[in-house]
């Protein structure tokens, strides 16, 4: 799977480690920045990850900032992006299986390296269930997005 990976300065070290981890699992990573730990703005990288998905260059995304909150908020402003901040493995896979989450967001100042690896493994290994109830709910989410997209 192709996974776009981005971060701000606070997530840089974790991004580098997780990109290597993902490649070790057999995934291809597309690094959209930041490329160093100098102060940077998370919305820029949330947009870059989202655009990679929307343009078909990646199937999923991984975003990392200090807490994960800002990157999650910013990513969800892009139509078609379903980003969630997850700090437990259940949410990391269930978000994909039930909600077709396409971007995992992590807080580098909140969790450690080993938990981050387990979250990424759970996220990358999960698939949308396509059960009727999950499809119905996803369609309602998409309808909400379309309803308010041009306001």
- The residues carrying an active-site annotation are 65, 98
94: which strand partners?
none
Q: How far apart are CA 53 and CA 80, in angstroms?
A: 9
Question: Peptide bond preceding 28: is omega within 30 degrees of 0, i.e. cis?
Answer: no
Place of tokens 């990679």: 52
Q: Is the separation of the CB atoms in 10 and 65 below 8 Å? A: yes
């Amino acid at each position: 799977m192709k996974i776009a990976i981005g971060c701000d300065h606070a997530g840089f070290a974790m991004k580098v480690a997780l990109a290597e981890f993902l490649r070790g699992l057999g995934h291809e990573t597309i690094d959209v920045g930041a490329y160093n730990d100098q102060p940077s703005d998370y919305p820029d990288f949330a947009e870059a990850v989202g655009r990679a998905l929307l343009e078909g260059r990646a199937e999923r995304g991984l975003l990392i900032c200090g807490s994960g909150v800002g990157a999650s908020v910013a990513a969800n402003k892009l139509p078609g992006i379903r980003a969630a901040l997850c700090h437990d493995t259940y949410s990391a896979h269930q978000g994909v299986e039930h909600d077709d989450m396409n971007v995992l967001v992590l807080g580098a100042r909140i969790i450690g390296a080993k938990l981050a690896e387990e979250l990424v493994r759970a996220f990358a290994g999960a698939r949308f269930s396509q059960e009727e109830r999950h499809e119905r709910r996803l369609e309602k989410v998409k309808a909400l997005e379309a309803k308010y997209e041009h306001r």
